[in-house]
Amino acid sequence: MPEEIKGQCLCGAVQVSAEVDAPRLRACHCDMCRQHGSGPFFSLETLPGSIAVTGLAQSFKSSSWAERGFCGTCGSTLWYGTQHDGARHLSAGLFPNAGGGRLKVEFFVDQCPQGYALAGDHKKMTTQETIALFAPNEGEAQ
């Protein structure tokens, strides 16, 4: 049964809510995610159409097919969004205990720096596999 979770940015100027059902975490190691947050971007899988965002949210079009949301006051990362479908993949850090999610998949594992690795038995997708999934006609890395 779906559960509503609520979270906020660091300063509280942006509030978010969404519904989850067996919450799953995704980690992205692409160059842009690491530049944006100094490490992998962890997103929480939410139910389609359930996300509500209020407050001073802004977005930056980071590629021809993606955007990154952030708080206009404190700069907290809010989401990674895809242009073709308007989907927003919310930052797991907005929610207490990362929304209760468990790591399900890593994207761009071949771009993960040698200084760290994520433990666990979960799917690991290369750059080529990730591009084929999210932007098969683009050929961009992020």
- Predicted local distance difference test score (pLDDT) of residue 142: 44
Please indicate, yes or no, if residue 34 is contained in any of the structural domains: yes
SS3 115: coil
pLDDT digits (tens, 9 = 90+) for 93-127: 999 999 999 999 999 999 999 999 999 999 999 99
Structural domain includes residue 124: yes
Does any domain span residue 18? yes
Owning domain of residue 61? 3-134
Examine residue 142 and state whether it is found in any structural domain, yes or no: no
Q: Whole-number mean pLDDT of the chain?
A: 91
Question: 68 - beta bridge partners?
Answer: 60, 80
Cα distances (Å, whole numbers) of residue 46 to 12, 32, 125? 21, 22, 20
- In the prediction, which pLDDT does 141 show? 46
CATH assignment of the domain containing 17 = 2.170.150.70
Query: 94 in a domain, yes or no?
Result: yes
101 vs 113: CA distance, rounded Å:
24
The number of domains in the chain is 1
Q: Is residue 120 part of a domain?
A: yes
What is the C-alpha separation between 104 and 102, in angstroms, rounded? 6
